[in-house]
Structure 1
Amino acid sequence: MSNSALTPSEAPQRFSLRLQKDGFLPRILVALGLSVVVAAVLILLAQKNPLEAFSALLAGAFGSPHQIGVALNRTSPYLFAGAGLALCFRAGVINMGSDGQIAMGGIGATATILAWPGIPGPAAAITALVVAALAGGLWAGLATAIHLFRRVHEVLATLLLNFVALLLVQLLLSSVLGQPGAGFLQSPLMPRTVWLPRIPVFDFHIGIVLAVLAAALVSFLLWKTTFGFGVRVAGRSRPAAAYAGFSIAGITWQLMLSAGAMAGLGGGVEILGLQHRLIEGFSSGFGFKAVTVALLGALEPALTIPAALFVGFLETGALAMQRQIGVPSSLVTVIEAATMLFILAATVRRT
C-alpha cells in the first residue's frame, strides 16, 4: 500500500497528469478505434452500410439541440446512480441494487405527489425528490441489514431486492397508485406544476444539472473528508482500515445508504423530469448501465460525469441508427456492449 493512500489530506491528481502518466488517453483512443471496427463488421454482416449507420448514429446523438436534450435526459439517472456506485466500489462494497433503488425512488416521488395534491408546485417537487432519495436509501439499507446481520453477500442481497422492487411497482400500480382504466400499468399523469423545469431550445430538464452537482459532491466527500479517506483505505485493505480505527460495518452502512439515496434521487428525477408518471418497468436496466458508468469512470466520481454522458449519447445515437438505417435492435445492443467492453478494458484500474 502506498503512503499516499494513508494521508487524510490527499487530493486527487489532476486529470491531465493522470492521462499523461498512465497513458490513459492513447488507450481510450485505441479502444474507441477497435469498437468502431467491430461495429462496422457487425453492420456489414447485417447487410447495411457502416458509413451510413455511423452517420445516423452521430446525427441521432448530436444532430440537433433536441437530440442533445434527449441524450442529456437519458444520462441523468445513469449519473446519479453511477456516482454512488463508484463510491461503493471504491471501498469494495459491491452494490448491484440500483435498479430497485431507482424504482423505489420513483415510487416515493409518485406517492408524494398523488398523496398531497394541494402542495404548491415547487415545494411539491422538492418534497417528492427528498422522499425519493429517502426511499432509495431505505431500500439500500434493507439490503445492508440483510448483508451485515444475516451474513448474506451484498451482491446477492441487492440483486434479489431488485426483483422485489420491480414487483412492488407492479403491485402499487395495480392498486393504490394506478390509473383506473389505463391500458397498461401506470399512475395518473402528474400536474405540470411539479414537472422539473426545462432548458429552452435543447428541451432537457434540470435533472442533469442536479446529477452533475451530486457527482461533484460525492467526489468532494471521497477526496476531502475523513469519511472519504476511510473509504479509500478500506478499498485498499480492510484490515488496514480497521487498524486505523475505521468501522467497516459503519463504512458499509454509510456507502450503501448514500448510493441508495443517489439512485432513489435519480428515480425521482426520471419521474418528475421525463416520464411525469410512474410506469411499470421504468427503471429496468438503469442499474446495470450505472455499473458501466462507475467502471468507465475508473471509480472516480468526477469521471463518472463524462462516462455517463458517453453512455447516454451512445444510446441515443444507436437508437436513431436503428430507426433510420434499420439495424436490428439486437445488433444495436451488441454494438453498445462491444464499445463499452473495449472502453472498460482500456480504463480498468491497475494495482
Structure 2
Amino acid sequence: MVNKEASAKAVAWTVEALFFALTIALALLAGALIMAAAGVSPWQAYQLIWQGAAGSAGSIKETLVKATPLLFTGLSYSFAYRCGLFNIGAEGQLYLGAMTGAMAALLLPPLPMLVHLPLALLCGFIGGALWGGIVGALKVGRGASEIINTIMLNYAAIYLISYVVTSPLKEAGGSLPQSAALPASAILPQLFGSRLHYGFFLAIATAIVLYWLLNRTTWGYEIRSAGLNRRAAEVMGFPVKRNMLLVMMVSGGLAGLGGYVEIAGIQHRLMQNFSPGFGYDGIAVALLGGAHPIGNIGSALLFGGMRSGANAMQRVTGASTSLVYVIQAIMIMMMLCNRYWLGGYKKALVARLTRGLRKTGAAGANARLNLTE
C-alpha cells in the first residue's frame, strides 16, 4: 500500500514538473515572438539575460539580491492564500516594516549588533504584522473584503512613509526625502565584497520554516483545512476566525520583515518610494511557485534572474527592460491556464499512468511467482 501511494505521488510530481517546464518553455517562446516583433534578436536577448543573471559570480550574486525581497513578499501572499485569504497588501506591509525597523535602528540607544540587529528585524516584522492585523480584524469582525482593504492600506502606508522621511525621520541637514543612515549595528553584513547580504539566507530559512509549519504542525493543518473548505473546518471545531486573524498578521509580518531586510541590506536608510513594487511582484512569485514556500524560492530566483539579466540586455541592445516584464506576465498567464484549465487533463494523465504502473508491477510479481514455482 505504501509503495502504491509513493508511486502515485511520484507520478503526480513528474507530471506537474513536465507541465511546469512546458509552461515556461511556451512563455519563453511567446516572449521571443514579441522580441522579434520589437526588432530585437530573441537569441541575443536571451543570451544576454542569461549572462546577466547567471553568467558570472557577480551576476549570480546580483540575482540573489534581487530575489530576496521578492521571496519575502511571495511567502507573505502564499501563507495567507493557504488559509483562503488574498493578501494584496504586501507592498504596504513592506513599507510599514521598513519604517518600524528603521525607527528601532535609529531611535534605540547604541547597542551591540547581536542585540540591535535582531531587535530591528523583529520591529520590522511587528510593523508589517500590525498593518496586516488591521485587515484581519476587519475580515473577522465585520466580514470586510481583505482584497479591498489591503489595496487601500497600501496607499496609506506609502504616503505615511513619504511623510515620515520628509519630517520626523528626515536626515538632519539633508535635502532628500530620506532618513539618516542606519547605524552599523543595525545593518545586515554584506558578503564577498558585493551587494549580497545575509538577508537572502534569512529569506531561505523563512521559507523552510513556513513549509515545516504548514505541513508538520497542528496549526498548519488547521490553516490548510480552512483554506480548502472553511465551513468544514468550522464543523471540525477549528478556530477558523482566530486563525484568519493570526494568519493575516503573520503574512503581514513576513512582508514587513522583507521591507527592513531590503533597507538594512541595500539602501542602509529609509527612503521615499524605495520599493519598485516588490509587494505586487510577490504575488506573481507566489502564483508561479504554486503558493508553496519551497516553490517560491525557485520562482523568486527566476524573477530575480530575469530582472538582473534585463539590465544587461538593455545595456547591450538598447531594448527596454519592459520586455522582461512582458515575459513575466506571459508566464503568469500560462501558469494560471496550467493550474485551472489543464487541471482535469493532468489528473486524468496521472490516473492513467498510475494504473499502468500497477499493472506492470502486478505482471512482474506474477512472473517472479511462476519462476519460483
**TM-score clears 0.5:** yes
* SS of residue in 1 equivalent to 2:210: helix
- Which among 269, 274, 284 is matched to residue 277 of structure 1? 269
Counterpart CA distance in 1 for 2:11 and 2:186 is 44
Counterpart CA distance in 2 for 1:280 and 1:13 is 53
Q: Does 1:124 align with 2:106?
A: no
- Which among 232, 244, 248 is matched to residue 256 of structure 1? 248
**What's the counterpart of residue 368 of structure 2?**
none
Indicate conservation of the 8 Å contact 2:190/2:197, yes or no: yes
Counterpart CA distance in 2 for 1:215 and 1:306 is 11
**What's the counterpart of residue 363 of structure 2?**
none
Counterpart CA distance in 1 for 2:8 and 2:252 is 29
Aligned CA distance change for structure 1 residues 111 and 201 (closer, same or farther; 3 Å): closer
**What's the counterpart of residue 192 of structure 1?**
184
Indicate conservation of the 8 Å contact 2:140/2:245, yes or no: no
Q: Does 1:294 align with 2:270?
A: no
- Which among 21, 43, 48 is matched to residue 51 of structure 1? 43
- Which among 109, 114, 119 is matched to residue 101 of structure 2? 109
CA shift for structure 1 position 16: 5.3
> Could you tell which deviates more after superposition, 333-342 or 51-60?
333-342
Aligned CA distance change for structure 1 residues 88 and 59 (closer, same or farther; 3 Å): same
- Which among 51, 54, 76 is matched to residue 62 of structure 1? 54
Q: Does 1:237 align with 2:226?
A: no
CA RMSD of aligned residues (A): 2.3
Indicate conservation of the 8 Å contact 2:195/2:266, yes or no: no
- Which among 297, 318, 325 is matched to residue 310 of structure 2? 318
Unaligned runs of 5+ in 2: 1-5, 345-373
* Pairing of 1:8-19 with structure 2 (within 5 A): 18-19=12-13
| Cα displacement string for residues 158-201 of structure 1 (whole angstroms, at most 9, x for unaligned residues) | 11000000000001011111124545311122233432122216
- Which among 143, 150, 169 is matched to residue 158 of structure 1? 150
- Which among 55, 58, 67 is matched to residue 75 of structure 1? 67
Counting aligned pairs with the same residue, the percent is 32
Bigger radius of gyration among the two: 2
Counterpart CA distance in 2 for 1:250 and 1:179 is 41
| Cα displacement string for residues 87-136 of structure 1 (whole angstroms, at most 9, x for unaligned residues) | 21122111111001110110011111111251223321111001000011
- Which among 333, 338, 341 is matched to residue 341 of structure 1? 333
* TM-score computed with the length of structure 1 as normaliser: 0.90
- Which among 203, 206, 220 is matched to residue 214 of structure 1? 206
Indicate conservation of the 8 Å contact 1:99/1:284, yes or no: no
Counterpart CA distance in 2 for 1:174 and 1:121 is 28
Aligned CA distance change for structure 1 residues 282 and 66 (closer, same or farther; 3 Å): same
**What's the counterpart of residue 304 of structure 1?**
296
Counterpart CA distance in 2 for 1:322 and 1:183 is 31
Q: Does 1:85 align with 2:77?
A: yes
CA shift for structure 1 position 264: 0.8
Runs of at least 4 residues off by over 6 Å: 12-15
Aligned CA distance change for structure 1 residues 13 and 229 (closer, same or farther; 3 Å): farther
Q: For residue 56 of structure 1, what is the amino acid of its counterpart?
A: L
Q: For residue 125 of structure 1, what is the amino acid of its counterpart?
A: L
**What's the counterpart of residue 3 of structure 2?**
none
Counterpart CA distance in 2 for 1:128 and 1:314 is 31
| Cα displacement string for residues 221-251 of structure 1 (whole angstroms, at most 9, x for unaligned residues) | 1111111111121122111100110122111
* TM-score computed with the length of structure 2 as normaliser: 0.85
Aligned CA distance change for structure 1 residues 119 and 110 (closer, same or farther; 3 Å): same
Counterpart CA distance in 1 for 2:194 and 2:269 is 22
* SS of residue in 1 equivalent to 2:116: helix
Q: For residue 213 of structure 1, what is the amino acid of its counterpart?
A: A
* SS of residue in 1 equivalent to 2:178: coil
Indicate conservation of the 8 Å contact 1:188/1:277, yes or no: yes
**What's the counterpart of residue 4 of structure 1?**
none
Q: For residue 76 of structure 1, what is the amino acid of its counterpart?
A: T
Q: For residue 285 of structure 2, what is the amino acid of its counterpart?
A: V
